[in-house]
Structure 1
């Protein structure tokens, strides 16, 4: 006899990122960009073209309101970081990987792909790393 499994709701109980989660993610991404050795201009492009003053506030620890686009970018960046930490036992090699040319990206460095500014470029790098670590 078949028994139907109860379905779970598709929407999360907390539909938006909390202020605390946003601040933590912003701090983590700022530290990650430092480890990657990115200039402020490149970092701002990866975050969707943040204004210089807004990025300066982020670096000072005040991310302000994080909209859906920024939350998605932060999530993708954390996934990229996780993928690199899984693939490379030496964290420094993972940090360096983003700046090295890669045949998969047409000889361009992953950071160049991410700095194109669109969210799909971040997703492209994340998907590649997920596939490399067996995440698909």
Structure 2
């Protein structure tokens, strides 16, 4: 693959991942502001991903990692829950885990802080039996 083709492919893959992450955030009932902070993207980029009009985008490593965490949290929740209300509602539910201290996972992640996203991922991934 030529360098230009590889770059175009990467931009297409990035756009696909971003659109998938935005769809998941929408199903979790994240606000636009929360989604933008979690993914660290602009309002216009988030809106384009939300309406599906984005076909290519260049994202940095941090943004791609954030997308990966959203996709992996969703995958873990799909293993833990087969009821759609729990699968999509869990992220908005108050959580008694000491890390969450009564707040919802989405509330914690909504700050946009990378460590908060990572720590939320670790705790949700542990629900499916992963070892940290």
Structure 1 length-normalised TM? 0.80
Q: Tell me the equivalent position of 2:32.
A: 40
Which aligned segments of 4 or more residues in structure 1 are displaced greater than 4 angstroms?
Answer: none
Alignment of 1:4-15 (within 5 A): none
Question: Greater CA radius of gyration, 1 or 2?
Answer: 1
Report the CA distance between 1:33 and its aligned residue: 1.5
Q: Is 1:77 matched up with 2:70?
A: yes
Q: Superposition RMSD on alpha carbons, in Å?
A: 1.7
Tell me by how many angstroms 1:92 deviates.
Answer: 2.7
> Which consecutive residues of structure 2, in runs of 5 or more, have no partner in the other structure?
1-5
- Name the counterpart of 2:109: 114
**2: CA distance between counterparts of 1:99 and 1:53?**
24
Deviation (angstroms), 1:93: 1.0
Partner of 1:54: 45
Q: Taking structure 2 as the reference length, what is the TM-score of the superposition?
A: 0.83
Higher helix share: 2
